[in-house]
Structures are given as C-alpha cells and as structure tokens.
Amino acid sequence: MPVASRAPGTLLSQACQSLIVSAGLAVAAVGPANAQTNRPEAPQVNTANDPYLWLEDVGGEKALSWVRERNAVTEAELAAKPEFKRLEADIRAILDSDAKIPAVEKIGDHYYNFWRDKTHERGLWRRTTLEEYRKAKPTWETVIDLDALNKAENENWVWHGANCLKPVDPKAPVERCLVALSRGGADADVTREFDLATKTWVKDGFYRAEAKGALGWIDRDTVYVYTDFGKDAKGNTTLTSSGYPRVVKQWTRGTPMADATAVYEGTGEDMYIAAYRDDTRGFERDFVSRTIAFYNDELYLRTPAGLTKVDAPNSANKVVHKQWLMLELREPYAAGGTTYPAGSLLATKFDDFMAGKRVFTALFTPTERASLSSFTWTKNKLVLNVLEDVKNRLSVLTPGDGAWASEPFTGAPAFGTLTVSAVDADDSDAVWLSAADYLTPSTLALATLGQAPEVLKSNPAFFDASRHAIEQHFATSADGTRVPYFMVRPKDLAFDGTAPTLLYGYGGFEVSELPRYSGAVGKGWLEKGGVYAVANIRGGGEYGPRWHQAALKANRYKAYEDFAAVARDLVARKVTSPQHLGAQGGSNGGLLTGNMLTQYPELFGAIVVQVPLLDMQRYHKLLAGASWMAEYGNPDTADWEFIRTFSPYHLFDPKRDYPATIFMTSTRDDRVHPGHARKMMARMLEADKDVRYYENIEGGHGGSANNAQAAHMSALAFTFLWNELGGKGGGGAAASAK
C-alpha cells in the first residue's frame, strides 16, 4: 500500500510486529485536571524558546554527538551482561532462520521472494517455480543480491520493492521491472529499471532520483512519475507540505524527466498525488489519485478526453476491479434512495456508475460486533475477511445481478489471524491463506476457492508455547465502552499481582491489532514467564470506521482512557500490579504511551516506545507530520486547545515521578522525526529522571535496516523491561525516580 495512504506507524506496525519490542518514553501529568474530562491542562510553552530545538537537526554533528553519547550510556547499562548477548543471539537466530516461510509473489511464470538471513543481511530478491516452491527446500535463482550491490556501489541500499510490467501478450515473459531502493531504510528512495531476462540494470533506463514518490508503468516505453521535480515554472515546490509528490507526469523513454508531460497538479495542502494504470486484461484503465488527507481522497478516470472524477464520497475506499466499482464506506452514504451505514461494502457496475446510475448491492453491512477487515478479488470470486470481536471470519462471494451468492470459505481455521491474497487475479481463483496466533507459528496454504486448502509451508516454533494460554477479555472504559484485549499468560499463573506484564497498543489510523506470532516476544518475554497483552483500543479499526472515528482529534483522549482501562483490568484480575506492568508502542503508539505516562503514571512500572510523536505543537512542521492533521488536528489553529491536552512534550513536569523509560528511534526515519524522541529524552534527562535512549543510525520508520540491528534493538527493549518489571522486582511509579 502507498506510504501516504496510511498511518505514520503502519509500516512500523507491519515491520515490527515480528518483534513487538521497540522503544520507550515516560512522562507524567502536569497542571490542574480539566473538570469535564479529568485530563491534564498543558502549560503555555513558547516553542520559539524551546532549548532543545537544536536536536531537530537530524544529521548535525552536535546532535549526532549527543546521540552517540546517549547510546553509549544505554549500551553500558543494558548490553554488557552475558544474558543480553544470549538474548540478542537468540533473536538474531530467529530472524535469520532458514526455516521461515518465504512469502512469494507471482510475476509471470515465476514466484518471487525477498529474503534476508545471516549470510545475506540486506537480502536477496530471488525466484522459483511453483513446483519447486512446494518442496521443503526449494531451489532458488538469485535475481538481485542487495549485499553484493551495496559492496559494488559502496551504498547502504534497503529493499523497497519491485513493480514489474505485465506484457501485452499473456504468453510472453515478464522482462522489465522498476526497482525501488532506499538508503538506510528511509521512506525516500530511488527507482531504477531492471531487466529480468539478463538480470542487469537497464543502461540509460528509467531512473528516479532519491525522493518520496515512485514510477509506475504505462507501457514498455512510458511511465507515470510522481516525485520531487524541484521548483516549477512559478518557483513553487512540487512537493506537498507533507513532503510527498504534488505533481504527477507522464514520462517517455529516452527523454529527460524535465520534459515529461504534466497529468495532474495538486495543491500544497494536499497530501499525495499519484497515478497508475490498471493493467487487468480486457479492462485496462488509467487513474489519477488525489489524496487530500488520510481517508479523504479523490479518484479520477483518465481518458484521451481528460480526467473524469469517480464521484463517490471522498471518505470511501474506492476500488475498481474489471467491470465492478467497490465502495468501502467510512461515513453513511445516501444513493439511489437508500442510505448505507458507515462500514458497508457496496458494489456496482463501474460504467453504470460513471454514467450516473446509483444502484448498489450491499455486500457487507456492519454490526456492533462485526466489521470488514479486508476484501480480495480472484478471477471470478470475492473473498470477504470480517472481524467479529477481533476474530477473523472468511466468506466467498460470487458476483451476480442483485444479491451475490455467498458461501463459507472452505477449510479456514476457526481461530487466529487469517490473511487472504490472490495468487493471480487475472488467471485463477487460487489464493494464499496464512494463519497464525500468539502461540501458533504461521502457516501458508494454497487454496482454490471451494476446495480444502493445501498447507505448503509452516514456520518452526521459535519458543516453547506449551506453558501458555491465549485469552480474550473486555475492559470497561471511562465512558462505559466495552474494550477488547488479548492476553497471553502462563497456564499456571498465580494471579497474585506479581507477573511481569507487557501491554502493547497503537490506537490510530484505523489500524487493527490482531493476534500474530512473534518468535522475539516468545523468546524475550513469554519463555521467561511474562504475560503479554494487546489492547484493541479506539482509534484502531477493530470495529470499523466508527471505532477509529471515536478517537479523532478532540476525542483523542478516549483511546488513552481505553488503554488505561485495560491496564486497570489486568490489575483487577490480579494478573499484575503497577510496579510489574509495562507499556509499549511505536509511532502513533508512542504518542499513546507518552500520554499513559503524562496522564496515568501510577499505572505503570516501565515504558518502551519507538519512533514516537511527542511534540504535538510542532509535529506538523516535521517531515511527514502535516499529513496527519486529519487524525490529530492543526496546532496552528484553535485545535491547539485540545491538542495540548495530549502533547507529552508539553505535559512533562520535572517535579513529578515517572516510571523507568527508554526511547528508541532511528536517525534515518524520514516519516516521524527523531527530534521528538531526542527532545523528550533531553527534557527528562535534565530533570534527572530514570530514562535512557537508543537511536539506530539506519532503519527508517521501521527502526532497523537488517536483522542484526533489529535483534539488537529488540534485545535492548526486552532486557530493559525485564530488569524493571521482573528481574529487579519492579520499580517505576511505585518507587520514586531513581
């Protein structure tokens, strides 16, 4: 999915779910409580006089010297003991394991996989056949060796994916790809043309210099390009205020990019402008996408006559597949004499819709307990993935006039996180079905809809799960809302309030937190006897758009009340107690945990947070921050009156006691500015709080650029947590700052 079309932490959520470790921040409440909300009032802070603004200089030598000094202190505390080295080695072995499932994408007749292990730290892009892939140990053909490329070019490339051109003749081989490579894992990347037949870079081929954006195929000699074009003829930047492309052009091979023809120009206040060709055979179409803000976008059909808007609600997710237009609603929609509720999935004929007709078939209608998680097209079928109280349920629809026929997905597991993707939506009704939960390693099955899935691959068990059990509970939030959470606990848990417990959350951008298997969490936490909990708080997507919208802007505090309610429920059940309870989250989840510390410091003994948002008065001025104002509000307006009530950097009070804290971030994160974590660390350090800091020089928003870095950061986080919540018998809020 495009980076700009999702949350600042979505990639973090994907990249780091295998670790669920990250880094942390601790802050505490300040000032009198608001009488209506019982939330703290932020003091008036003059940002212009912020003594730590110099730490926003990402690559400045003064700031990096400070980073290195803080890193050294943290390493000396956490990484010096043999038990740290053992844990780091264990997690590195998990990440490097050759037994992991190699996820594949069908391109032409081959199945492609990007693979990293101990020998290939930056990774291999490789391919095989389906016949080979079915084997326990397939034979792979290397297409691109990223480590060898880095050595040859003296670079630090991180893989960002490949976009391959579908040939006009369905029997012809796929020959050309546009490969995206990032320096150090940043969102900004370069695009280079690659020849699959010769496995070489195309001399004088399409090339896009480092920037946020992309190239997309139109045909072999033509691409869409949306990137940083420098200044336009009027001297204006070609980027939005969020740092993403404002202009999309059509570029012909052999001509300078500067001569490319403008297709669409957005405004500086837009978020992201892009274009793409739908290359479905028999239904080839071109579209321009104008993303104004998160969940606010316009889609245009491009024809020789110009651009025609697909006149569906901006808030709806609009998907065109063959003859169908699908609308996934985030707000109620009145059309054809019917009002469809938010969370519905509608279908209609695309050509009829463009002609003005508004006759829809409702394929899914939400309930209080059920929401649509995703949908996937195959050649002839549509698979719906529904969440019922945060548990996946699959069904298969067959298109028709009026109501579509529906049947259960044959052979789907009864429990666990299920994901479905088409193998080749042009040619078959085959899908990949993956399944996992907190204690069950992932499996990958190949299924032809209507037939029992064939399990092709299974991950090994990376930790002993026999002594643990998974439970789902519901906490009651401050306004009476029922908030689900999952808990993984030892079967013989004493329920005496002493279990070291880690509570994870995100709560934003309609991102759902579902049960996932993590060898690192198992090895670093569960095997030691710890309890692991995941809170499905408002702001996420577990109950569809309403769950997300319930915690937007001025209602942000509801997400924090939900998380606090889960923390209290864990204590009330005598699973743990505040001195043994830790909180963890990254990106938007870092804002969550920052507010746990500013508003609920008494609930936790330690905090770990990665790549956090913390200075909410300046977040929109830093990197991609302006793109998130639909979620948080604009602090340059009257919105600051509510934003300041959840800005941890402004809520910090040097007179308060705080739980033990660790911040972890990345210098190369060009989505959430590392200055957030740096400045908060500096403020807490000056106040002599129990705080430590680690900044990885590479890694981007995911925090690490290779398995070695990921294992190191994971081990730092788990070591810190166990020291504070288990190994040293607690600490934090129940004990004064050390």
CATH placement of domain 3-42+57-92+462-734: 3.40.50.1820
- pLDDT of 118 strictly over 60: yes
- Catalytic hit among 587, 627, 704, 714: 587
| pLDDT (average), residues 546-561 | 98
Contact 592, 598 (CB under 8 A): no
Residues 6+ apart with CB under 8 A from 685: 691
Q: Mark whether 701 is an active-site residue.
A: yes
| pLDDT (average), residues 368-395 | 97
**Chain segment 203-258, per-residue pLDDT in tens:** 999 999 999 999 999 999 999 999 999 998 899 999 999 999 999 999 999 999 99
Confidence of residue 38 (pLDDT cuts 50, 70, 90): very low
DSSP 8-state secondary structure symbol assigned to residue 80: S
Element (H, E) at 588: helix 588-599
Pick from 274, 150, 302, 265: which is nearest to 212 by CA? 274
Domains of the chain: which residue ranges?
3-42+57-92+462-734
Number of Cβ within a 10 Å radius of residue 362: 15
Single-letter residue type at 233: A
Q: Mark whether 587 is an active-site residue.
A: yes
- Catalytic hit among 160, 548, 650, 701: 701
Confidence of residue 514 (pLDDT cuts 50, 70, 90): very high
Contact 696, 726 (CB under 8 A): no
The share of the chain scoring above pLDDT 90, in percent, equals 85
- pLDDT of 530 strictly over 70: yes
- Report the distance separating Cα 214 and Cα 54, nearest Å: 32
**pLDDT at res. 702:** 59
**Chain segment 434-452, per-residue pLDDT in tens:** 999 999 999 999 999 999 9
| pLDDT (average), residues 260-288 | 97
- Report the distance separating Cα 450 and Cα 447, nearest Å: 8
**Chain segment 664-717, per-residue pLDDT in tens:** 999 988 888 999 999 999 999 999 999 999 999 755 555 555 788 999 999 999
Q: How far is CA 334 from the centre of its chain?
A: 32
**pLDDT at res. 185:** 87
| pLDDT (average), residues 380-386 | 97
Beta-bridged to residue 79, according to DSSP, are none
**Chain segment 339-381, per-residue pLDDT in tens:** 999 999 999 999 999 999 999 999 999 999 999 999 999 999 9
Single-letter residue type at 85: K
**Chain segment 296-334, per-residue pLDDT in tens:** 999 999 999 999 999 999 999 999 999 999 999 999 999
Beta strand pairing status for 531-535 and 501-504? parallel
- pLDDT of 15 strictly over 80: no
| pLDDT (average), residues 564-578 | 98
